[in-house]
A and B are shown apart, each in its own frame.
Chain A
């Protein structure tokens, strides 16, 4: 290595050293540690005792593990695609140049600013089966016996999914920024070729927007697999475990039952699921994500 190169290296490492230390202390070591714990019987009160793959074997035969996985899958498979679709449609509408569009943009963004705990409290009240705004509206529309929402095992999960759509504002803003980067001449060319508005959407807007769709998809995958706060506050996982999400099961093992070893095994399985799904998304992106020019 040349003298100058080494000096640059030292300088570079010095600048990024806060992150390097933090990466070691708060990511790499915890990750290794949690892998080690996942191979141990560890209750916090006593030092960890190595048990090999026992935790993972137990996991495989644990009905609650599968249940929490199913609940999370149910939530993600509806909330994620529908949420992205709503956000994209909203962004397309907000990208038109109708009058007052900036006011609409602000209004539709506001809900995503609300802290999770506050929105959980608010929706708890909105979903209240007797006095909540939602059932009052449904009754006014002629539905005499609206669902009990959070107190009904069938409707609790749809309620949480519905609530998640209220907070899609961030995704809308990212889509909107992407839409404003679509070159105008592409639309003009499509119009000359006789493409309809719908044709322009399919053949111009969506392909150009695909990197942004991909970005939002990745964020949504990671987010929907770690849902915790809303069900923890609003339903406690119930009724009858109808909203017992994976992360709640992990939390319970770690901090309620003090099974840190088992919780760590759950954590590693969660990490593998996140990595697999984002991996599949990256792999599939070669077919449908188009990067312009660069």
Chain B
């Protein structure tokens, strides 16, 4: 009896919290389907009448914003960045978890320490470094995608940490058996560890994809011309600085930026949640 009552209370609180979490989504979706006049109408409509899905087509073909090009740009950065970080982070994580070399502990601690440095702190000097790299290599780095994906090929502390935690759980006997069969260290990495670590690699790929998709400050600092914008940066073009924002268009564009992320999440929900928990708990 007592237990039932408290369960009932938990339900009520959860319904309220759930509504607070969902309402903004519904409001966004609703607005995106309204005509501009009815978005400004008072009292507000909760269910758009008439429905105007054409707004989505308008956004895709809008002259003030090249939504499709920005999607392509984001995907280019994502493919180059995600593949780079998965490959390099896995190699480094293997070194940190399976090879007992001198100084390993210290270097690993330093690597964890770098996770505490906020990006803004490095922003100015990284900008200067990428400018200098342009001078050295003869073609500019600033204003291209390079500053956004090249660093990914040198491992990221967060991903290395995540993969190392996973590699540690793989029994040492498997490597030993392969070594007796004459496998080299690189062979063990490719043939024993990587196949077993697929779930963890998927987590890293997912997280880094989201990282690229969501990144705002990086593109803001390094990219200059609208033709190079990523989606996160370009979305601002639907917002008017002087009032008079076309809210249905802005919301439709936002929905289309969010949708791929939500779809990825629902496709790989378990992997996702396990990944977040692993990084948080198994320190």
Taking beta carbons and an 8 Å cutoff, which residues of A are in contact with B? 1, 5, 8-9, 11-16, 18-23, 25-27, 29-31, 33-34, 37, 44, 90, 93-94, 96, 98, 101, 104, 106-111, 113-118, 121-126, 130-131, 133, 136, 166, 170, 173-174, 176-178, 181, 211-212, 215-216, 218, 222, 225-226, 228-229, 233, 247, 250-251, 254-255, 260, 263-264, 267-268, 270-271, 274-275, 278
Contact = CB atoms under 8 A, between A and B. Distances in A.
Given A23-B110, A122-B254, A9 B18 contact: no
Given A15-B91, A131-B44, A226 B120 contact: yes
Given A15-B92, A34-B121, 19 more contacts: A15-B185, A18-B92, A18-B155, A23-B111, A31-B122, A110-B21, A116-B232, A117-B214, A121-B238, A123-B24, A125-B251, A126-B27, A131-B39, A174-B276, A228-B120, A229-B217, A247-B120, A263-B124, A271-B121
Tell me what chain A mostly uses at the interface: helix, strand, loop, or mixed.
Answer: helix
Contact of A216 (B95, B121, B189, B280): B280
A124 B28 CA distance: 11
Given A18-B91, A18-B154, A116 B120 contact: no
A278 B214 CA distance: 26
28 contacts: A8-B101, A9-B102, A9-B103, A13-B101, A15-B91, A19-B88, A22-B155, A26-B129, A31-B121, A34-B125, A37-B125, A104-B14, A121-B250, A122-B24, A125-B247, A166-B24, A173-B276, A174-B276, A211-B283, A215-B280, A225-B118, A226-B119, A229-B217, A251-B120, A263-B124, A267-B122, A267-B124, A271-B118
Nearest to B279: A174
Q: Which 4 A-B pairs have the closest CB atoms?
A: A22-B154, A15-B95, A12-B101, A177-B277
B28 A173 contact: no
Interface residues of B, number: 89
A178 B160 CA distance: 22
B168 interface: no
A222 B122 contact: no
Nearest to B128: A33
A27 B251 contact: no
A3 to B, nearest CB: 14
B121 A267 contact: yes
Contacts of A233: 216, 236, 239
Nearest to A111: B21
A113 B262 contact: yes
Interface in B22-77: 22-25, 27-28, 31, 39-40, 42-44
A96 B10 contact: yes
Contacts of A225: 118
Main secondary structure of the interface of B (DSSP, over half): helix
A260 B28 contact: no
Contacts of A12: 95, 99-101, 104
Contact of B13 (A93, A170, A211, A254): A93
Contacts of B155: 18-19, 22
A271 B235 CA distance: 30
A166 B232 contact: no
A178 B103 CA distance: 31
Contacts of A27: 114, 117, 122
B177 interface: no
Interface string B251-265: 101100110011001
